[in-house]
Structure 1
Amino acid sequence: MSTQTNDLKEIIKKWIINIDKTEELPSDIVALSFNLYEPYGLELVGSTWFDEEDEDWACDEDFEPIQRSCPDFKISDDLEWEEVLEIVTATLKALIKELADLRLFKVEHIAVGFVDGDLIILK
């Protein structure tokens, strides 16, 4: 991993741990969506339903953390969106394994994608 990618991983990790420590995830939340947007940013919402065939579940924002957007999320504007998606997907996959004991990551389904694009199912 490059230095920039490692730094980004630590920023995302700190954000997720903070949400996990300071917020109560409602028991009916079954799916989390990490939404990317341009200019590049990352936010988190949760849904009470999930359907792999119908990505509209990710539009239902049944859980909105107070710190919805990842602070200090810095990634080069020179990167194409595909590269950003690839970096964030790899980072989240690693964090899901590394932080498996977090309450947030105990939800059944986790996805990532741009708000206007297809989702990648991580879990």
Structure 2
Amino acid sequence: MHDFAIVSKWLDKILSQELPKGIVAFNFNIYEGSNGTYDVQLIGSDEFDENDEDWACSDYYSSGEDICYIKRIKEIEQWEQGLSFITKLVEQYLIEGRNADSLKSACVIGIGFVDGDIGIIYRSE
């Protein structure tokens, strides 16, 4: 799958760098891009509160302008379809990705549009 290769390459690059100590949660922020894309940014937070999604607003760590671009095609044109598709790509990375353990070192991994709800896709045991 072409899009999985794009996500894998992006995450491998980010996660091969030294991340700040103290990240307890990661979130994949999704934006509706202006060029027919979904733009994905990774943030790491030093806090997590199940009842307050503002934990994902932390600027403790961010991939910043290092964004992953997923082309919006007909099958994922609607935001719900895009969210589901990108979630599956990230979940696949958590299983197969070279640096998946770096992400799974956090207690929680979430995903969602920046102006929407966060879905938790991973919890450490």
TM norm structure 2:
0.83
- Rounded to whole Å, the distance in 1 between the matches of 2:80 and 2:102 is 29
Task: Give, in whole Å, the separation in 2 of the partners of 1:24 and 1:56.
Answer: 25
User: Which of these residues, 67, 83, 105, is aligned with residue 85 of structure 1?
Assistant: 83
| Count, aligned residues | 116
Match of 2:94 in 1: 96
Per residue, is there more strand in 1 or in 2? 2
Equivalent pair of 1:19/1:67 in contact (CA under 8 Å): no
Structure 1 residues without counterparts, runs of 5 or longer: 1-5
What does residue 3 of structure 1 align with? none
Please name the residue that 1:121 is paired with.
Answer: 120
Structure 2 unaligned segments of length 5 or more: list them.
none
Q: Please give the root-mean-square deviation of Cα atoms over the aligned residues, in Å.
A: 1.8
Aligned mates of 1:66, 1:80 — CA distance in 2 = 25
Residue equivalent to 2:19: 25
Identity %: 37
Contact 1:20 1:102 in 2 (8 A): no
2:70 counterpart of 1:76: no
Deviates more, 1:93-102 or 1:10-19: 93-102
CA drift of 1:52 comes to 1.5
1:105 aligns with: 104
Residue 47 (structure 1) aligns with: 45
Q: What does residue 16 of structure 1 align with?
A: 11
Aligned twin of 1:36? 30
Bigger drift between 91-100 and 53-62 goes to 91-100
CA deviation profile, 1:24-83 (whole Å, cap 9, x unmatched): 11120111110111122111111001112110000012002355311x432327710000
